Structure 1
Amino acid sequence: MLTDYHNHLERGTLSLDYLTQFTNAAVERGINHFGISEHAYHFYQTKSILSNPWIEERRIYDMKDYVNLFYDAWNQNIDVKMSIEMDYTTGKHEEMNEFIKSYEFDYCIGSIHWIDDFGIDLAEFKTEWERRDLYTIYRRYYDQVESLAQSNLFDIVGHLDLVKIFNYVPKDEEFLLEQYDRATTALANSKTCVEISTAGLRKQTKSLYPDRKLLEMCYTKGVPIVFSSDAHVPEHVGADYDQAIKLARQVGYTTIMTFSKGERKEIRF
Protein backbone atom coordinates (compact mmCIF):
# COMPACT_ATOMS: atom_id res chain seq x y z
CA MET A 1 0.00 0.00 0.00
CA LEU A 2 1.47 3.33 -1.07
CA THR A 3 0.47 6.99 -0.98
CA ASP A 4 1.24 9.91 -3.24
CA TYR A 5 -0.46 12.85 -1.59
CA HIS A 6 1.51 15.82 -2.92
CA ASN A 7 0.81 16.61 -6.60
CA HIS A 8 -0.01 19.66 -8.69
CA LEU A 9 -2.04 20.46 -11.81
CA GLU A 10 -0.64 23.98 -12.20
CA ARG A 11 1.39 23.26 -15.35
CA GLY A 12 -1.74 22.10 -17.14
CA THR A 13 -5.41 22.84 -16.62
CA LEU A 14 -8.04 22.28 -13.96
CA SER A 15 -9.73 19.76 -16.24
CA LEU A 16 -10.84 16.18 -15.88
CA ASP A 17 -8.73 15.16 -18.87
CA TYR A 18 -5.56 16.49 -17.26
CA LEU A 19 -6.44 15.14 -13.82
CA THR A 20 -6.93 11.63 -15.20
CA GLN A 21 -3.41 11.68 -16.65
CA PHE A 22 -2.21 11.87 -13.04
CA THR A 23 -4.64 9.30 -11.64
CA ASN A 24 -3.88 6.87 -14.46
CA ALA A 25 -0.17 7.22 -13.74
CA ALA A 26 -0.86 6.48 -10.06
CA VAL A 27 -2.74 3.30 -10.96
CA GLU A 28 0.03 2.19 -13.29
CA ARG A 29 2.62 2.66 -10.55
CA GLY A 30 0.70 0.82 -7.86
CA ILE A 31 -0.20 3.87 -5.77
CA ASN A 32 -3.34 3.07 -3.82
CA HIS A 33 -3.92 6.47 -2.18
CA PHE A 34 -3.48 9.39 -4.55
CA GLY A 35 -4.28 13.05 -4.06
CA ILE A 36 -3.97 16.45 -5.70
CA SER A 37 -2.82 19.29 -3.45
CA GLU A 38 -2.69 22.46 -5.52
CA HIS A 39 -0.83 25.46 -4.16
CA ALA A 40 -3.26 27.57 -2.15
CA TYR A 41 -1.71 30.82 -3.37
CA HIS A 42 -3.14 30.20 -6.84
CA PHE A 43 -6.67 30.78 -5.52
CA TYR A 44 -8.41 34.13 -5.13
CA GLN A 45 -9.81 32.97 -1.79
CA THR A 46 -6.36 32.99 -0.12
CA LYS A 47 -5.41 36.60 -0.86
CA SER A 48 -5.87 37.58 2.78
CA ILE A 49 -3.40 34.88 3.89
CA LEU A 50 -0.38 35.47 1.68
CA SER A 51 0.28 38.12 -0.93
CA ASN A 52 3.37 39.44 -2.68
CA PRO A 53 4.14 40.46 -6.27
CA TRP A 54 5.43 36.99 -7.26
CA ILE A 55 2.28 35.32 -5.96
CA GLU A 56 -0.18 37.88 -7.35
CA GLU A 57 1.09 37.15 -10.87
CA ARG A 58 0.08 33.53 -10.28
CA ARG A 59 -3.25 33.93 -8.49
CA ILE A 60 -5.42 32.55 -11.27
CA TYR A 61 -7.94 30.06 -9.87
CA ASP A 62 -11.25 30.05 -8.06
CA MET A 63 -11.84 27.38 -5.43
CA LYS A 64 -15.30 26.72 -6.85
CA ASP A 65 -13.74 25.38 -10.06
CA TYR A 66 -11.23 23.32 -8.10
CA VAL A 67 -13.87 21.68 -5.92
CA ASN A 68 -16.14 21.02 -8.90
CA LEU A 69 -13.28 19.23 -10.65
CA PHE A 70 -13.09 16.70 -7.84
CA TYR A 71 -16.85 16.17 -7.79
CA ASP A 72 -16.70 15.53 -11.54
CA ALA A 73 -13.96 12.96 -10.92
CA TRP A 74 -15.81 11.28 -8.07
CA ASN A 75 -19.00 11.12 -10.17
CA GLN A 76 -16.98 9.09 -12.67
CA ASN A 77 -15.62 6.82 -9.92
CA ILE A 78 -12.11 8.25 -10.19
CA ASP A 79 -10.33 7.63 -6.91
CA VAL A 80 -8.56 10.87 -6.04
CA LYS A 81 -8.22 12.79 -2.78
CA MET A 82 -8.89 16.53 -2.64
CA SER A 83 -6.24 18.51 -0.83
CA ILE A 84 -4.41 21.81 -0.76
CA GLU A 85 -0.81 22.78 -0.12
CA MET A 86 -0.81 25.97 1.90
CA ASP A 87 2.13 28.22 2.61
CA TYR A 88 2.29 28.39 6.39
CA THR A 89 2.09 32.11 7.19
CA THR A 90 3.01 33.43 10.62
CA GLY A 91 0.26 35.52 12.17
CA LYS A 92 -2.43 34.17 9.85
CA HIS A 93 -3.65 31.16 11.87
CA GLU A 94 -7.25 32.38 12.00
CA GLU A 95 -7.36 33.04 8.26
CA MET A 96 -5.69 29.71 7.42
CA ASN A 97 -8.07 27.81 9.70
CA GLU A 98 -11.10 29.55 8.19
CA PHE A 99 -9.97 28.65 4.68
CA ILE A 100 -9.24 25.01 5.56
CA LYS A 101 -12.57 24.57 7.33
CA SER A 102 -14.46 26.01 4.35
CA TYR A 103 -13.80 22.95 2.18
CA GLU A 104 -14.10 19.20 2.63
CA PHE A 105 -10.45 18.41 2.10
CA ASP A 106 -9.33 14.83 2.62
CA TYR A 107 -6.17 16.24 4.19
CA CYS A 108 -4.14 19.45 4.12
CA ILE A 109 -0.42 19.99 3.54
CA GLY A 110 1.42 22.85 5.18
CA SER A 111 4.72 23.96 3.68
CA ILE A 112 7.25 26.73 4.04
CA HIS A 113 8.47 28.43 0.88
CA TRP A 114 8.90 31.99 2.14
CA ILE A 115 10.96 33.75 4.78
CA ASP A 116 9.36 37.19 4.68
CA ASP A 117 9.81 38.28 1.04
CA PHE A 118 12.45 35.63 0.27
CA GLY A 119 11.20 32.70 -1.80
CA ILE A 120 13.75 30.14 -0.65
CA ASP A 121 13.12 27.54 -3.37
CA LEU A 122 12.58 29.88 -6.32
CA ALA A 123 15.18 30.33 -9.04
CA GLU A 124 14.26 34.03 -9.21
CA PHE A 125 15.50 34.47 -5.64
CA LYS A 126 18.57 32.26 -5.81
CA THR A 127 21.02 35.17 -5.63
CA GLU A 128 19.61 36.02 -2.20
CA TRP A 129 21.38 32.99 -0.77
CA GLU A 130 24.71 34.74 -1.30
CA ARG A 131 23.48 37.99 0.24
CA ARG A 132 21.96 36.62 3.43
CA ASP A 133 23.36 34.87 6.47
CA LEU A 134 22.94 31.12 6.06
CA TYR A 135 22.48 30.40 9.75
CA THR A 136 19.79 33.05 10.06
CA ILE A 137 17.94 31.57 7.11
CA TYR A 138 18.00 28.09 8.64
CA ARG A 139 17.01 29.32 12.09
CA ARG A 140 14.08 31.28 10.74
CA TYR A 141 13.04 28.43 8.46
CA TYR A 142 12.88 25.98 11.37
CA ASP A 143 11.17 28.63 13.49
CA GLN A 144 8.35 28.35 10.99
CA VAL A 145 8.43 24.54 10.92
CA GLU A 146 8.06 24.58 14.69
CA SER A 147 5.18 27.07 14.54
CA LEU A 148 3.51 25.15 11.72
CA ALA A 149 3.47 22.01 13.84
CA GLN A 150 2.28 23.86 16.93
CA SER A 151 -0.61 25.37 14.97
CA ASN A 152 -1.99 21.83 14.44
CA LEU A 153 -3.72 23.09 11.30
CA PHE A 154 -2.16 20.61 8.89
CA ASP A 155 -2.17 16.86 8.41
CA ILE A 156 1.17 16.74 6.58
CA VAL A 157 4.21 19.00 6.48
CA GLY A 158 5.56 19.24 2.96
CA HIS A 159 9.24 18.65 2.07
CA LEU A 160 10.39 19.15 5.64
CA ASP A 161 13.92 20.34 4.83
CA LEU A 162 13.19 22.18 1.61
CA VAL A 163 15.63 24.84 2.79
CA LYS A 164 18.50 22.64 1.50
CA ILE A 165 17.19 22.78 -2.09
CA PHE A 166 20.15 24.72 -3.56
CA ASN A 167 22.76 22.89 -1.45
CA TYR A 168 23.30 25.79 0.93
CA VAL A 169 23.71 23.81 4.17
CA PRO A 170 25.39 24.94 7.42
CA LYS A 171 28.68 23.19 8.11
CA ASP A 172 28.05 23.29 11.85
CA GLU A 173 26.34 19.93 12.40
CA GLU A 174 25.48 20.72 16.01
CA PHE A 175 23.56 23.78 14.89
CA LEU A 176 21.73 21.76 12.22
CA LEU A 177 20.80 18.99 14.65
CA GLU A 178 19.45 21.60 17.07
CA GLN A 179 17.08 22.82 14.35
CA TYR A 180 16.05 19.26 13.55
CA ASP A 181 15.46 18.48 17.21
CA ARG A 182 13.11 21.36 17.92
CA ALA A 183 11.20 20.83 14.69
CA THR A 184 10.67 17.11 15.29
CA THR A 185 9.69 17.67 18.92
CA ALA A 186 6.98 20.08 17.78
CA LEU A 187 5.83 17.63 15.11
CA ALA A 188 5.70 14.78 17.61
CA ASN A 189 3.39 16.88 19.80
CA SER A 190 1.03 17.60 16.90
CA LYS A 191 -1.18 15.72 14.48
CA THR A 192 1.20 16.53 11.61
CA CYS A 193 2.76 13.75 9.55
CA VAL A 194 5.99 14.07 7.57
CA GLU A 195 6.21 13.20 3.90
CA ILE A 196 9.15 11.38 2.46
CA SER A 197 9.31 13.28 -0.79
CA THR A 198 11.22 12.26 -3.88
CA ALA A 199 11.02 15.79 -5.30
CA GLY A 200 14.47 16.67 -3.96
CA LEU A 201 16.02 14.06 -6.24
CA ARG A 202 14.87 16.21 -9.17
CA LYS A 203 16.27 19.41 -7.64
CA GLN A 204 19.77 20.75 -7.16
CA THR A 205 20.06 19.01 -3.78
CA LYS A 206 19.71 15.58 -5.50
CA SER A 207 18.47 14.09 -2.25
CA LEU A 208 15.26 12.98 -0.63
CA TYR A 209 13.29 15.22 1.71
CA PRO A 210 13.89 14.83 4.60
CA ASP A 211 17.56 14.17 5.26
CA ARG A 212 18.22 10.77 6.84
CA LYS A 213 19.23 12.23 10.22
CA LEU A 214 16.10 14.36 10.28
CA LEU A 215 13.94 11.36 9.38
CA GLU A 216 15.63 9.31 12.09
CA MET A 217 14.61 11.95 14.64
CA CYS A 218 11.04 11.78 13.30
CA TYR A 219 11.01 8.00 13.73
CA THR A 220 12.51 8.11 17.22
CA LYS A 221 9.85 10.59 18.34
CA GLY A 222 6.98 8.69 16.72
CA VAL A 223 6.12 11.09 13.90
CA PRO A 224 4.10 9.24 11.21
CA ILE A 225 5.02 9.41 7.52
CA VAL A 226 3.47 9.39 4.07
CA PHE A 227 5.12 9.02 0.67
CA SER A 228 4.89 11.82 -1.90
CA SER A 229 6.43 12.69 -5.24
CA ASP A 230 5.40 16.37 -5.48
CA ALA A 231 4.71 15.72 -9.15
CA HIS A 232 3.99 18.74 -11.33
CA VAL A 233 3.63 16.56 -14.43
CA PRO A 234 2.05 13.08 -14.70
CA GLU A 235 5.41 11.49 -15.51
CA HIS A 236 6.69 12.26 -12.01
CA VAL A 237 3.86 10.56 -10.10
CA GLY A 238 5.47 7.97 -7.84
CA ALA A 239 8.92 8.82 -9.18
CA ASP A 240 11.91 7.20 -7.42
CA TYR A 241 9.73 5.52 -4.82
CA ASP A 242 12.23 2.69 -4.52
CA GLN A 243 14.61 5.12 -2.85
CA ALA A 244 11.94 6.56 -0.56
CA ILE A 245 10.77 3.14 0.56
CA LYS A 246 14.33 1.95 1.11
CA LEU A 247 15.13 4.96 3.32
CA ALA A 248 11.93 4.57 5.33
CA ARG A 249 12.64 0.91 6.03
CA GLN A 250 16.28 1.54 6.89
CA VAL A 251 15.22 4.13 9.45
CA GLY A 252 12.67 1.71 10.92
CA TYR A 253 9.28 2.69 9.50
CA THR A 254 6.89 -0.11 8.54
CA THR A 255 3.66 1.91 8.32
CA ILE A 256 2.33 5.01 6.60
CA MET A 257 -0.69 7.19 7.29
CA THR A 258 -3.65 7.44 4.93
CA PHE A 259 -6.37 10.10 4.84
CA SER A 260 -9.98 10.29 3.75
CA LYS A 261 -12.29 13.23 4.55
CA GLY A 262 -10.12 14.23 7.47
CA GLU A 263 -10.01 10.71 8.90
CA ARG A 264 -6.64 9.00 9.22
CA LYS A 265 -5.68 5.35 9.19
CA GLU A 266 -2.26 3.77 9.63
CA ILE A 267 -1.38 0.95 7.24
CA ARG A 268 1.68 -1.16 6.46
CA PHE A 269 3.65 -0.49 3.30
Structure 2
Amino acid sequence: MLTDYHNHLERGTLTLEYLKQFTKVAQQKEIEEFGISEHAYHFYQTKDILSNPWVEERRYYDMAEYYQLFQQAWNEDINVKMSIEMDYTPGKHAEMKKFIDAYPFDYVIGSIHWVGDFGIDLAEFRKEWDRRDTNEVYTKYFDQVVTLAESNMFDIIGHLDLVKIFKYVPKDEEFLLEQYERAASALANSKTCVEISTAGLRKPVGELYPDKRLLKLCHDKGVPIVLSSDAHVPEHVGADYEQAVKLAKEVGYKTIMTFNRGERSEVELG
Protein backbone atom coordinates (compact mmCIF):
# COMPACT_ATOMS: atom_id res chain seq x y z
CA MET A 1 0.00 0.00 0.00
CA LEU A 2 1.01 3.60 -0.60
CA THR A 3 -0.05 6.71 1.31
CA ASP A 4 0.11 10.40 0.53
CA TYR A 5 -1.02 12.19 3.67
CA HIS A 6 0.56 15.63 3.26
CA ASN A 7 -1.07 17.79 0.58
CA HIS A 8 -2.33 21.36 0.26
CA LEU A 9 -5.13 23.13 -1.61
CA GLU A 10 -3.88 26.63 -0.74
CA ARG A 11 -2.72 27.52 -4.27
CA GLY A 12 -6.21 26.86 -5.59
CA THR A 13 -9.61 26.85 -3.91
CA LEU A 14 -11.36 24.97 -1.12
CA THR A 15 -13.74 23.41 -3.64
CA LEU A 16 -14.71 19.88 -4.57
CA GLU A 17 -13.71 20.54 -8.16
CA TYR A 18 -10.14 21.43 -7.15
CA LEU A 19 -9.91 18.62 -4.60
CA LYS A 20 -10.88 16.12 -7.29
CA GLN A 21 -7.82 17.15 -9.33
CA PHE A 22 -5.66 15.87 -6.45
CA THR A 23 -7.61 12.66 -5.81
CA LYS A 24 -7.58 11.87 -9.52
CA VAL A 25 -3.75 11.91 -9.58
CA ALA A 26 -3.64 9.83 -6.40
CA GLN A 27 -5.89 7.26 -8.05
CA GLN A 28 -3.77 7.21 -11.21
CA LYS A 29 -0.67 6.55 -9.10
CA GLU A 30 -2.40 3.79 -7.11
CA ILE A 31 -2.16 5.71 -3.83
CA GLU A 32 -4.88 4.07 -1.76
CA GLU A 33 -4.65 6.40 1.24
CA PHE A 34 -4.77 10.10 0.36
CA GLY A 35 -5.29 13.09 2.62
CA ILE A 36 -5.43 16.88 2.58
CA SER A 37 -3.59 18.62 5.42
CA GLU A 38 -4.00 22.36 4.97
CA HIS A 39 -1.73 24.69 6.95
CA ALA A 40 -3.45 25.50 10.24
CA TYR A 41 -2.25 29.11 10.18
CA HIS A 42 -4.61 29.84 7.27
CA PHE A 43 -7.60 29.42 9.58
CA TYR A 44 -9.13 32.13 11.77
CA GLN A 45 -9.54 29.54 14.53
CA THR A 46 -5.76 29.30 15.08
CA LYS A 47 -5.06 32.98 15.68
CA ASP A 48 -4.35 32.28 19.36
CA ILE A 49 -1.72 29.65 18.46
CA LEU A 50 0.55 31.29 15.89
CA SER A 51 0.50 34.93 14.91
CA ASN A 52 3.12 37.06 13.20
CA PRO A 53 3.05 39.51 10.28
CA TRP A 54 3.88 36.85 7.66
CA VAL A 55 1.15 34.52 8.94
CA GLU A 56 -1.53 37.20 9.35
CA GLU A 57 -1.25 38.10 5.67
CA ARG A 58 -2.20 34.50 4.90
CA ARG A 59 -5.04 33.89 7.35
CA TYR A 60 -8.16 33.63 5.19
CA TYR A 61 -9.98 30.32 5.81
CA ASP A 62 -12.65 29.22 8.22
CA MET A 63 -12.71 25.67 9.59
CA ALA A 64 -16.45 25.35 8.93
CA GLU A 65 -15.77 25.84 5.22
CA TYR A 66 -12.92 23.29 5.34
CA TYR A 67 -14.98 20.64 7.13
CA GLN A 68 -17.87 21.19 4.73
CA LEU A 69 -15.56 20.43 1.79
CA PHE A 70 -14.71 17.00 3.21
CA GLN A 71 -18.36 16.27 3.95
CA GLN A 72 -19.16 17.03 0.31
CA ALA A 73 -16.36 14.71 -0.81
CA TRP A 74 -17.47 11.88 1.48
CA ASN A 75 -21.07 12.27 0.28
CA GLU A 76 -19.77 11.54 -3.22
CA ASP A 77 -17.75 8.55 -1.95
CA ILE A 78 -14.44 10.28 -2.63
CA ASN A 79 -11.76 8.58 -0.57
CA VAL A 80 -9.95 11.49 1.10
CA LYS A 81 -8.72 11.88 4.66
CA MET A 82 -9.23 15.11 6.59
CA SER A 83 -6.14 16.47 8.29
CA ILE A 84 -4.33 19.64 9.24
CA GLU A 85 -0.66 20.58 9.25
CA MET A 86 -0.09 22.53 12.42
CA ASP A 87 2.95 24.66 13.14
CA TYR A 88 4.17 23.27 16.43
CA THR A 89 4.31 26.33 18.68
CA PRO A 90 6.16 26.08 22.02
CA GLY A 91 4.14 27.40 24.92
CA LYS A 92 0.84 26.90 23.12
CA HIS A 93 0.13 23.26 24.00
CA ALA A 94 -3.29 23.96 25.55
CA GLU A 95 -4.40 26.03 22.56
CA MET A 96 -3.12 23.44 20.07
CA LYS A 97 -4.87 20.60 21.90
CA LYS A 98 -8.14 22.52 22.07
CA PHE A 99 -8.05 23.11 18.31
CA ILE A 100 -7.06 19.53 17.45
CA ASP A 101 -9.79 18.07 19.68
CA ALA A 102 -12.46 20.33 18.16
CA TYR A 103 -12.52 18.59 14.76
CA PRO A 104 -12.78 14.96 13.58
CA PHE A 105 -9.37 14.77 11.93
CA ASP A 106 -8.23 11.42 10.59
CA TYR A 107 -4.70 12.38 11.65
CA VAL A 108 -2.79 15.53 12.53
CA ILE A 109 0.61 16.55 11.18
CA GLY A 110 2.89 18.63 13.39
CA SER A 111 5.65 20.56 11.65
CA ILE A 112 8.30 23.09 12.56
CA HIS A 113 8.66 26.07 10.23
CA TRP A 114 9.56 28.73 12.79
CA VAL A 115 12.49 29.06 15.18
CA GLY A 116 11.29 32.03 17.17
CA ASP A 117 10.61 34.74 14.61
CA PHE A 118 12.78 33.05 11.95
CA GLY A 119 10.85 31.32 9.16
CA ILE A 120 13.51 28.74 8.37
CA ASP A 121 12.05 27.50 5.07
CA LEU A 122 10.74 30.78 3.68
CA ALA A 123 12.42 32.49 0.74
CA GLU A 124 11.78 35.85 2.42
CA PHE A 125 13.99 34.78 5.34
CA ARG A 126 16.72 33.01 3.36
CA LYS A 127 19.37 35.71 3.89
CA GLU A 128 18.77 35.41 7.63
CA TRP A 129 20.65 32.10 7.50
CA ASP A 130 23.88 34.00 6.77
CA ARG A 131 23.36 36.16 9.86
CA ARG A 132 22.80 33.27 12.24
CA ASP A 133 24.88 30.49 13.72
CA THR A 134 23.85 27.30 11.94
CA ASN A 135 24.53 25.09 14.95
CA GLU A 136 22.38 27.29 17.15
CA VAL A 137 19.49 27.19 14.67
CA TYR A 138 19.76 23.40 14.47
CA THR A 139 19.84 23.08 18.25
CA LYS A 140 16.71 25.19 18.63
CA TYR A 141 15.00 23.39 15.76
CA PHE A 142 15.64 19.95 17.21
CA ASP A 143 14.67 21.21 20.67
CA GLN A 144 11.24 21.71 19.12
CA VAL A 145 11.29 18.27 17.47
CA VAL A 146 11.83 16.79 20.93
CA THR A 147 9.06 18.77 22.63
CA LEU A 148 6.70 18.16 19.69
CA ALA A 149 7.20 14.43 20.20
CA GLU A 150 6.88 14.72 23.97
CA SER A 151 3.55 16.54 23.60
CA ASN A 152 2.12 13.38 21.97
CA MET A 153 -0.47 15.53 20.19
CA PHE A 154 0.53 14.68 16.65
CA ASP A 155 0.17 11.53 14.57
CA ILE A 156 2.88 12.50 12.09
CA ILE A 157 5.83 14.87 12.14
CA GLY A 158 6.17 16.65 8.82
CA HIS A 159 9.46 16.84 6.90
CA LEU A 160 11.51 15.94 9.98
CA ASP A 161 14.73 17.70 8.93
CA LEU A 162 13.19 20.61 7.02
CA VAL A 163 15.90 22.76 8.60
CA LYS A 164 18.30 21.62 5.83
CA ILE A 165 16.11 23.07 3.07
CA PHE A 166 18.57 25.77 1.91
CA LYS A 167 21.64 23.53 2.33
CA TYR A 168 22.78 25.17 5.57
CA VAL A 169 24.06 22.12 7.42
CA PRO A 170 26.44 21.98 10.42
CA LYS A 171 29.98 21.11 9.41
CA ASP A 172 30.48 19.13 12.62
CA GLU A 173 29.02 15.72 11.79
CA GLU A 174 29.17 14.58 15.41
CA PHE A 175 27.01 17.54 16.41
CA LEU A 176 24.53 16.77 13.61
CA LEU A 177 24.28 13.11 14.59
CA GLU A 178 23.62 14.16 18.20
CA GLN A 179 20.61 16.15 16.98
CA TYR A 180 19.40 13.16 14.98
CA GLU A 181 19.81 10.85 17.97
CA ARG A 182 17.78 12.97 20.35
CA ALA A 183 15.06 13.49 17.74
CA ALA A 184 14.72 9.77 17.03
CA SER A 185 14.75 8.91 20.75
CA ALA A 186 11.99 11.40 21.52
CA LEU A 187 9.87 10.18 18.61
CA ALA A 188 10.33 6.58 19.70
CA ASN A 189 8.74 7.44 23.04
CA SER A 190 5.70 9.02 21.40
CA LYS A 191 2.84 8.04 19.09
CA THR A 192 4.32 10.19 16.32
CA CYS A 193 5.13 8.68 12.91
CA VAL A 194 7.77 10.09 10.59
CA GLU A 195 6.92 10.90 7.01
CA ILE A 196 9.31 10.16 4.20
CA SER A 197 8.67 13.25 2.13
CA THR A 198 9.62 13.72 -1.49
CA ALA A 199 9.17 17.51 -1.20
CA GLY A 200 12.87 18.01 -0.49
CA LEU A 201 13.68 16.80 -4.00
CA ARG A 202 11.85 19.88 -5.30
CA LYS A 203 13.68 22.26 -2.93
CA PRO A 204 17.23 23.70 -3.01
CA VAL A 205 18.54 20.84 -0.85
CA GLY A 206 17.53 18.38 -3.59
CA GLU A 207 17.07 15.34 -1.34
CA LEU A 208 14.38 13.46 0.53
CA TYR A 209 13.30 14.28 4.07
CA PRO A 210 14.60 12.90 6.32
CA ASP A 211 18.32 12.24 5.89
CA LYS A 212 19.02 8.52 5.53
CA ARG A 213 21.05 8.45 8.77
CA LEU A 214 18.19 10.04 10.69
CA LEU A 215 15.64 7.67 9.16
CA LYS A 216 17.83 4.68 10.05
CA LEU A 217 17.89 5.82 13.69
CA CYS A 218 14.11 6.13 13.60
CA HIS A 219 13.78 2.63 12.15
CA ASP A 220 16.15 1.11 14.68
CA LYS A 221 14.17 2.71 17.53
CA GLY A 222 10.84 1.49 16.18
CA VAL A 223 9.38 4.76 14.88
CA PRO A 224 6.73 4.04 12.20
CA ILE A 225 6.55 5.85 8.85
CA VAL A 226 4.11 7.18 6.28
CA LEU A 227 4.82 8.39 2.74
CA SER A 228 4.09 11.97 1.69
CA SER A 229 4.69 14.28 -1.25
CA ASP A 230 3.70 17.62 0.36
CA ALA A 231 2.04 18.47 -2.94
CA HIS A 232 0.86 22.05 -3.35
CA VAL A 233 -0.35 21.38 -6.90
CA PRO A 234 -2.12 18.25 -8.21
CA GLU A 235 0.76 17.11 -10.44
CA HIS A 236 3.04 16.72 -7.41
CA VAL A 237 0.83 14.12 -5.70
CA GLY A 238 2.91 10.97 -5.25
CA ALA A 239 5.89 12.62 -6.96
CA ASP A 240 9.16 10.63 -6.94
CA TYR A 241 7.65 7.87 -4.82
CA GLU A 242 10.00 5.26 -6.22
CA GLN A 243 12.80 7.08 -4.38
CA ALA A 244 10.82 7.27 -1.14
CA VAL A 245 9.96 3.56 -1.20
CA LYS A 246 13.57 2.69 -2.07
CA LEU A 247 14.89 4.70 0.90
CA ALA A 248 12.34 3.15 3.27
CA LYS A 249 13.32 -0.36 2.27
CA GLU A 250 17.05 0.40 2.34
CA VAL A 251 16.91 1.34 6.03
CA GLY A 252 14.73 -1.67 6.84
CA TYR A 253 11.08 -0.58 6.76
CA LYS A 254 8.58 -3.16 5.56
CA THR A 255 5.37 -1.49 6.72
CA ILE A 256 3.72 1.93 6.82
CA MET A 257 0.91 3.38 8.91
CA THR A 258 -2.58 4.32 7.76
CA PHE A 259 -5.08 6.47 9.67
CA ASN A 260 -8.81 6.66 10.11
CA ARG A 261 -10.37 9.10 12.61
CA GLY A 262 -7.26 9.06 14.76
CA GLU A 263 -6.90 5.28 14.78
CA ARG A 264 -3.84 3.86 13.07
CA SER A 265 -3.21 0.55 11.34
CA GLU A 266 0.01 -1.00 10.12
CA VAL A 267 0.03 -2.23 6.52
CA GLU A 268 2.63 -3.65 4.15
CA LEU A 269 4.68 -1.07 2.29
CA GLY A 270 3.88 -1.05 -1.42
Q: TM-score, normalised by structure 1?
A: 1.00
Q: How does 1:17-166 map to 2 (within 5 A)?
A: 17-166=17-166
- In structure 1, distance between residues paired with 2:116 and 2:263: 33
The 3-state SS of whatever aligns with 2:107 is coil
User: How many corresponding residue pairs?
Assistant: 269
The equivalent residue for 1:16 is 16
- 1:11-32 Cα offsets, whole Å, 9 max, x none, are 0000000000000110000100
SS of the equivalent of 1:108 reads strand
1:69 Cα deviation after fit = 0.1
Q: Which blocks of at least 5 consecutive residues in structure 1 are unaligned?
A: none
Task: Please say if 1:260 is aligned against 2:260.
Answer: yes
SS of the aligned residue for 1:20 comes to helix
Give % identity: 72
Q: 2-side partners of 1:214 and 1:60: how far apart?
A: 36
* Aligned-residue offset at 1:132: 0.5
Instruction: Report the CA distance between 1:52 and its aligned residue.
Output: 0.1
Structure 2 runs not aligned, ≥5 long: none
Deviation at 1:118, TM superposition (A): 0.4
Alignment RMSD (CA, Å): 0.3
**2:83 aligned counterpart, secondary structure:** strand
Match of 1:192?
192
Give the letter for the 1:262 counterpart.
G
Shift of 1:98: 0.2
Tell me which residue corresponds to 1:173: 173
Q: Secondary structure at the match of 2:257?
A: strand
Report runs of 4+ in structure 1 exceeding 6 Å deviation.
none
Q: How big is each residue's C-alpha offset from its partner over 1:147-185, in whole Å with a ceiling of 9 and x where there is no partner?
A: 000000000000000000000000101000000001110
Q: CA deviation at 1:239?
A: 0.1
Secondary structure, in 3 states, of the residue corresponding to 1:25?
A: helix
Q: TM-score, normalization: structure 2?
A: 0.99
Deviations 1:186-244 (A, max 9, x none): 00000000000000000000000000000000000000000000000000000000000
Q: Which amino acid aligns with 1:189?
A: N
Counterparts of 1:134 and 1:173 in 2: how far apart (Å)? 13
